[in-house]
Structure 1
Amino acid sequence: MRDINELISEILDNKESFVLATILEKSGSAPREEGTKMIIKKDFSTIGTIGGGIFEAMAIKLSAKVFKNKNCIIKKCTLSTEGASALGMVCGGELKLLLEYINCEDEKMVELYKNASELREKGINFAFITQIPEEERYISGLDKWICTETNFWGEENDIVQCIFRKIRENFKYIHFQTIIADGKKYLIEPVLNHESVYIIGAGHVSQKIAELTKMLDFKTVVIDDREEFANRQRFKVADEVKVVSSFDNILNCINVNNRSYVIIVTRGHAYDKDVLGQMLKTDAKYIGMIGSKNKRSFVYNCLINEGYDLNNIEERVHCPIGITIHAQTPEEIAISIAAELVKVRRTSVSEKG
């Protein structure tokens, strides 16, 4: 999926208003992270996902009220263990959602999201700041600001200037959070241009890969269906470690876009095939699958029998994965994979130049 700020800017350019749902808080095994967004249009069609049918149905239902009066809504949505099981999660969870009306007739709003889209396209890190009201009211463009390390956009405001200074003290490490300043609540949303690596499978090789990808400044997410493998004790440096009930519908748990690198290192051919099939439906920047040439032939043939195009598979998938260095140990294999990620990253940069 394309960046949400680009999509918002395009929709506003088309003179469409919509409701924007944002996850403010999560607990339990709710599948999406804080800061995840979903666009709800006037016909109640959606762009993006906040984690499956039940949560999205709740958000869509609430959006009808937002469309009617343009006031924001903050709502806690709970998913039972039984409902979570139906979505392929280990246990239930809770989301706290913000639903706000994004008005195409609000010039300040349109201008701010246009600036956000341009900053994102240029690869400049920034933070979105939104004043969150205590009561249900319209959040206008005057209630939003953008802050970079050297500049800001939005109406002059002494309180927000203090927030800007605090953010800039450690800009690279700001995180999604809600703060209180002068008795008012502000949502801080960093938009850092880190590319994401999704390591699907949490074995010994994955441990070494995660260490290297963090060193290379990738946001590193590890996913497995075994909690004894996918845990913080084994993956201390990863940004996120996710446990899923199965590798089916894994895209409900992760947001793969054109800044994503996917490394498929599960424990079996069938799992690799299922994951690869799903990743081929995304616009991931890199897809790599570990395994021999014989394994590659088996997986590719299975996918072709399911209707996938061989030319597309061969063009997009790196398999055997990694740069050829005759690697044997988990450490050596991880180095070969990390080197291939760097090659893809830097080739793209040089081609743009």
Structure 2
Amino acid sequence: MRNPWSAVRDLLERHGRCAMVSVLALQGSAPREVGARMVVAPDGSFHGTIGGGTLEYEAIAMAAAQAADATSADALKLRTFTLGPDLGQCCGGRVTLAVESFSAARLDEARCLAELAGHGGFATRAAIGAQGEVGPREIVAGEDTVDAPLALSAGLLEERFAAGETRLVLFGAGHVGRAIVLALASLPFRVTWVDSRANAFPAHAPRSVEARHLSDPTALFREPAGGEVRPAEVLIMTHDHALDLAIADAALRAPGIGGVGMIGSATKAARMVSRLRAAGYGEETLARFRCPIGISGIASKEPAAIAISVAAELMLRREQAGAFHNKRGGRLAGGMRLV
């Protein structure tokens, strides 16, 4: 799942208890990789997946029971399954799950980690007692300090949590823009959707989308940052090529923009690059601009097909960026401290 701490926070606020299931180790074939997680409430409702099938069914039941058991509060328990003999699954591998229960006493910790997740990836360390007691998580400053997504050795739990949602600014609410918004709805992106036409947006949009009508879309880049500026992706696909160029120019000048993509043909791309170069942009800045957008190999011009191609490209860019957010300075609430 995406960073699980928002789910832990929400379930603690709602139920006062929950449990997080993590794939700790595996041998051979298995449904998910080490570090895959799901968060389970005492009533068996859950967020995320460790791969489905009987393994997940058993994990949900085990986690729900542990979350509901007061004697297991704030403890980590391990369970190993051999998928064929134990569960009748054809994967044939061996999976060790770590099930960590949370009580309301750890709500501040969950809130801090959920907030931290909104700023990017990070790593933690926590001491595990002889009876599975989980100590406060310490934030690790430095992405190279923790090599694996999840590891438990000699009473020390080390975890690496992926970056939270990538902020994407999408200009244009035409057919392709609408298809892209739908394609990204279940992916880790927070979308600001901008169009100069007041009636361009559909009646309903995914919860991860904020639709904004701006008569001058470039004004978005002149708005106050309102706090920390997070790296963003920009996609441009308006109804007007001159407006496309103006938005690209404003985006390339703005701080915190990871990449600027524009829909279009090779001919349009050449013209846009030529005009941007004439406007004084050097090759280093132009390397952040790309047109056409999307992965190669999908020839269809159907909006939904283009959206799949663009969503795949954005996921590749997100994973390649993949840097941890290095939290520096100060002590975090809930007993966490910086290493």
- Structure showing the higher helix proportion among its residues: 1
The TM-score bracket by the shorter chain reads 0.3 to 0.5
TM-score, normalised relative to structure 2:
0.48
